[in-house]
Amino acid sequence: MRRPRFLKYPEEQFRKFRKHAEVEIYCLRNVTKDQFGRLNDALIILNILPTSKNDAELGKETRELTQVMVATKETNL
């Protein structure tokens, strides 16, 4: 995985986030499959936001989405 110019966290911290992620899901809201395919190699997980208790009430679909901050090489989302 390439390291973006504006990576906010040191690599050790990035490895820690990946290690503690229950499931690695590269998932963005409102991005089509074609767009995701093109962006896939440009995405990097910077931070995994914890799921709040209220999310359980929003249904299975919401719980399955992992919220991530992403950095892209050239594309603004």
pLDDT of res. 34:
58
Give the pLDDT confidence score for residue 64 in this predicted structure: 43
H or E segment to which residue 70 belongs: strand 68-70
Whole-number pLDDT of residue 19: 44
Helix (H) or strand (E) holding 34: helix 33-39
Q: Report d(CA 39, CA 4) in Å as an integer.
A: 13
Quote the pLDDT of residue 28: 45
Q: Which residues of the chain have pLDDT under 70?
A: 1-77
CB 15, CB 48: distance < 8 Å: no
Domain extents for the chain?
11-70
pTM higher than 0.75 for the full model?
no
